[in-house]
């Protein structure tokens, strides 16, 4: 069964799978650093009303499955998580400052994919079956509903 979340003007079920890596894939996320990273990710998510559905910290990369509100873009979520965690980890663990003297703990990019229970084909078929729609011209798969 789907579990929808609610805000003041919307109901939503938006899930993102994020993966990001340390710069140069250095295996630094072990021990206390990994534990502190988990705390920082939880803190950022709590602040932004993001639910952590699953997460794993490996030695050189992180996986999380997040349920996010519709007002937050995936790029903003990553900006918040990577920015705060990088700054705090470099401040708190001196040995990281020696390896990452340029103040960049994370590699530049990240992976993100959406997750859900409904496939694109199911949504397309649902839209095609709506009452009162006229056939489109087939160019952009967009149907016009008469007023």
Token match 């349920």: residue? Answer: 67
Q: How far apart are CA 78 and CA 5, in angstroms?
A: 21
Q: Is 126 a catalytic residue?
A: yes
Q: Hunting for tokens 């997750």 — which residue is that?
A: 115
The sign of the dihedral angle between the CA atoms of 76, 77, 80, 81 is negative
Residue 121: in which H helix or E strand, if any? helix 120-128
Q: Cite the beta strand spans of 102-144 per DSSP E.
A: 111-115
* Catalytically annotated residue among 4, 16, 24, 126: 126
Cα–Cα distance measured from residue 47 to residue 15, given in angstroms and rounded to the nearest whole number: 17
**Cα angle, residue 116 at apex, residues 18 and 122 outer, rounded to 5°:** 140
Query: Catalytic amino acids?
Result: 126
């Amino acid at each position: 069964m789907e579990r929808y979340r609610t805000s003041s003007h919307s109901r939503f079920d938006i899930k993102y799978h994020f993966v990001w890596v340390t710069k140069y894939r250095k295996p630094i996320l072990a021990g206390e650093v990994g534990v502190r990273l988990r705390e920082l990710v939880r803190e950022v998510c709590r602040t932004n009303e993001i639910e952590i559905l699953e997460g794993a910290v490996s030695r050189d990369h992180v996986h999380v499955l997040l349920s996010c509100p519709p007002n937050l873009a995936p790029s903003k979520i990553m900006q918040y998580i990577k920015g705060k965690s990088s700054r705090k980890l470099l401040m708190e663990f001196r040995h990281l400052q020696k390896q990452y003297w340029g103040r960049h703990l994370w590699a530049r990019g990240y992976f993100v994919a959406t997750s859900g229970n409904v496939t694109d084909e199911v949504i397309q078929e649902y839209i095609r079956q709506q009452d009162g729609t006229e056939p489109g011209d087939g160019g952009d798969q967009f149907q016009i509903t008469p007023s």
